[in-house]
Structure 1
Amino acid sequence: MLSEAERNLNATDGPPIFRFVFTGGPCGGKTTALARVFSYLRERGFECITCPEAYTTLSSNGMNVDFFSTQGMPKVIQRTVLEVQMALEDGIHRVLKARGKPGVMLCDRGTMDGSVYMPQKEFSELLSEMDTNIVQIRDNRYDAIFHLITAADGAEPFYTLENNKVRTETKEEAREVDQKTQNAWVGHPHFYFIDNSTDFEGKMSRLVDTLSKIVGLPSNLKRRSAKFLLKSKPDLSKFPSDIAYKEFEVEKIYLKHIHDDKSSYSFIRRRTNIDPDGRRLGSVYQSTLAQWTEDGELIEQKRIISEREYMSTSATRDTSRHVVQQRRISFLYNKQSFVVHIFQSPKEGLCILHAQVEASGKAEPEVDLPPFLEVDRRLQDTDEDKDTFGAYHLSKK
């Protein structure tokens, strides 16, 4: 007879387990953030486990900088860090699943952070040797990435390395590492910046609010995406050379309502990574449940699913709606995360720019728009704009 833990491990419809990465440049507040979020979620019924940073774990237990003097050692160390990181995360995920309750893994950095310290070609070769790729270790592994910008960028008086003895970066070096880390995670579908535009308490509150919406808890942030109608499709040749961007194909399928409940809807999504030569590198699958609260706030609970789940769930699609097909371009500009949605179906040629920003009051959040895109106007939270430009409404036949 199987034990309770074994039954939980074998279950295909168990409670959700979320994987979140906390990353960023030195002295961004990760240690405090991990502790704050851990307590917050535990108090609200989630089982939480923190996954330590693999490099720091190895360095704190005898692996020192002298090791790098051996020829070929940097690649060996980066592979070891990556393997340790993945083993720790997989083990923690197994423990949380066996527990049989809603769970959250809080990762102190993730699998892409090591790429900052290697040439891109070498990192790609390393992944190939490990029989994996960027799609698997970045997009398919984590539910969201939270980048806490270093205090050296916007909160300079508070920059210190006293809380991490293995870090030695100057402020200039910290800003450079922070930027490289941002670029390493470009392309993840849920990549959030937590900057230094407020005091540190405000920074932590914004982090908790953003994370809350993902796991389905009420949040003080009423919006995290400002939308703009573009006049035309982006011309990638006009993107500045220092703007890192990624391209994707997206298929979104809305599902039938099991109950006559108009306060919620659900969909599944396939997101395929496209390389600069047009080759498909792999797909990530996600399930989303969207619910409106009594005060009109939309909360979306997201989770990564397998290809098998995606295919079986697609059989329950809402046939009164079109399958939404899009081309998407993700990029960073001035510490902001943008995604261009280029519709292929059901409204071919429609281009909407999404900017991940924060708003806690009634005022619209400010967005520093990229000058290399032709913006028509900002879309408003009105029924008219939702009906004309929103994917949910456009999908209706």
Structure 2
Amino acid sequence: MTKSISPAETNLQSKEKIPFFKFVLTGGPCAGKTTALARIYSYLRERGFEVITCPECFTILASNGLSLDFFGVDGMDKIIQNSVMDIQISMEEGLEKTLRGFGKPAVLLCDRGPMDGAAYLSEEKWNSILKERGVTVTDLRDRRYNAVLHMVTAADGAEAFYTLENNAVRSEDAATAMTLDRKTQKAWSGHAHHYVFDNATDFEGKLQRIVDTISKLVGLPSNLSRRSAKFLLKSVPDPKSFPEDVVYHSFEVEKVYLVNQDADKESYSFIRKRTTIDRDGKLMGTVYQITTVQQTADGETIEQKRIINAREYNTAYKSRDSSRHIIVQKRISFLYKLQSFTIHQYEKPSKGLCFLHAQVETGTDSAREAKCKVEIPQFLDVDRRLKGAEDERKYGAYGLSLITE
């Protein structure tokens, strides 16, 4: 007798991928995460997404009896962070199943994530947790989330608004908040979509920049005209020569463009394989992603990105566009003065070409444009900034991929 499967179970097992996105919202103390989560939740719900928020797990413990006295016992910091990670992972997985089972486009908003623990432990203790669990940074950072949204503490740039009054479990002074903010940024640095939102605008502007960025990530129209500024580099940089305080992460990237299934639309898709390279040159964990890019009638570019598994990547690979090169790059990601940068060094095609991509949110608002200028790292040899459609055709990955011979 065949066992019947419920509609919810069918949704969970369905090979038809219903849009699902998982974002982690992190940052230093008093950065505005609670308000931002509420704003994002309402915004996405009003536009047809089912949304669930996964609460901050340390706050759950602290609100239910965990006190600072626990940290008075040597070694408790590691045990507590391990417990926080257990709860975090379990809650996220349960909530993800709940959303996927419902069978509608959905977003899981996570208030902090497993990598936040690295900001509160010594490097030795953090690495021991990873070893004991048998996981890597790639597992906890890159594979779990579509994007990481970091809100900078009000103690850095909006000091007048830094307060301990709206969070009963917060005890950090402004200096400590800034230190924790920097450590948290470094913990998540290296994720392919790591966005840092500083206090260059007022708080409402900060919230709008976050909403605009998420709009782009889920494929909704937004007020952002672009998310990155691109610069041509004169030479390939050696990351070992970077200043000691610049923490960098290296990756090997393979990008494969797919045959356009709908020739009537101004759109294209590609799959990407991104493998972490450790300091000794050893290949570590790999993350796979599929991206669809579409031009709207008014000329806006909308991208939708989704993490996939190796089997899905290999299946999609069979539909690759043979009229285009497979793009192979080495990428180096790092943070510099509250901005996220990635160096794209081409191996195939056009070996030797090298670009710097800088996170920047811009729009039609001239005041915002003025406050979002890129501060170029002085240790890089920049030729010029790329601008306009001609540069995009000549130096963009989509243009470079086209086989012309």
Could you tell me the TM-score, scaled by structure 2's length? Answer: 0.96
One-letter code aligned to 2:386: L
Paired residues for 1:297-308 under 5 Å:
297-308=300-311
Q: Is structure 2 residue 316 aligned with structure 1 residue 313? A: yes
Residue number in structure 2 paired with 1:322: 325
Shift of 1:175: 0.7
Residue number in structure 2 paired with 1:146: 149
Aligned equivalent of 1:396, options 374, 392, 402? 402
Maintained 8 Å contact 1:8/1:14: no
Paired residues for 1:49-198 under 5 Å:
49-198=52-201
Q: Is structure 2 residue 377 aligned with structure 1 residue 379? A: no
| Distance (Å, rounded) in 1 between the aligned partners of 2:182 and 2:123 | 15
1:271-322 CA distance string (max 9 Å, x none):
0000001011110000101011112111110011011111111111111111
| Distance (Å, rounded) in 1 between the aligned partners of 2:166 and 2:15 | 41
1:354-395 CA distance string (max 9 Å, x none):
00101112866521000000000000122x212221100111
Shift of 1:232: 0.4
One-letter code aligned to 1:376: D
Maintained 8 Å contact 2:239/2:248: no
One-letter code aligned to 2:203: F
| Distance (Å, rounded) in 2 between the aligned partners of 1:72 and 1:259 | 58
Aligned equivalent of 2:208, options 205, 219, 226? 205
Q: Is structure 2 residue 400 aligned with structure 1 residue 368? A: no
| Distance (Å, rounded) in 2 between the aligned partners of 1:237 and 1:85 | 35
One-letter code aligned to 2:238: D
Shift of 1:76: 1.2
Deviates more, 1:218-227 or 1:353-362: 353-362
Shift of 1:26: 0.7
| Distance (Å, rounded) in 2 between the aligned partners of 1:3 and 1:72 | 46
Partner-residue secondary structure (3-state), 1:122: helix
| Distance (Å, rounded) in 1 between the aligned partners of 2:241 and 2:135 | 32
| Distance (Å, rounded) in 2 between the aligned partners of 1:240 and 1:150 | 24
Aligned equivalent of 1:44, options 44, 47, 55? 47
Paired residues for 1:255-334 under 5 Å:
255-334=258-337
Shift of 1:176: 0.7
Could you tell me the TM-score, scaled by structure 1's length? Answer: 0.98
| Distance (Å, rounded) in 1 between the aligned partners of 2:395 and 2:355 | 8
1:142-179 CA distance string (max 9 Å, x none):
00011111111111111111111111111111111111
1:217-236 CA distance string (max 9 Å, x none):
00001111100000000122
Maintained 8 Å contact 1:253/1:269: yes
| Distance (Å, rounded) in 2 between the aligned partners of 1:337 and 1:358 | 12
* Structure 2: 5+ residue stretches without partners: none
| Distance (Å, rounded) in 2 between the aligned partners of 1:84 and 1:209 | 30
One-letter code aligned to 1:394: L
| Distance (Å, rounded) in 1 between the aligned partners of 2:275 and 2:175 | 36
- Give the percent of matched residue pairs that are identical in Structure 1 and Structure 2: 57
Shift of 1:71: 3.0
| Distance (Å, rounded) in 2 between the aligned partners of 1:262 and 1:103 | 25
| Distance (Å, rounded) in 2 between the aligned partners of 1:70 and 1:3 | 49
Shift of 1:258: 1.2
Partner-residue secondary structure (3-state), 2:375: coil
Partner-residue secondary structure (3-state), 2:379: coil
Aligned equivalent of 2:344, options 326, 341, 346? 341
| Distance (Å, rounded) in 2 between the aligned partners of 1:171 and 1:323 | 48
Q: Indicate how the Cα distance of structure 1 residues 390 and 206 shifts in structure 2: closer, same or farther if over 3 A, else same.
A: same
Q: Indicate how the Cα distance of structure 1 residues 157 and 394 shifts in structure 2: closer, same or farther if over 3 A, else same.
A: same
Runs of 4+ in 1 over 3 A off after TM superposition: 362-365
| Distance (Å, rounded) in 1 between the aligned partners of 2:396 and 2:339 | 22
1:327-361 CA distance string (max 9 Å, x none):
00000011000000000001101001000101112
| Distance (Å, rounded) in 1 between the aligned partners of 2:305 and 2:247 | 26
Shift of 1:72: 2.3
Shift of 1:195: 1.1
Maintained 8 Å contact 1:124/1:133: no
Shift of 1:14: 2.7
Maintained 8 Å contact 1:331/1:338: yes
Paired residues for 1:212-227 under 5 Å:
212-227=215-230
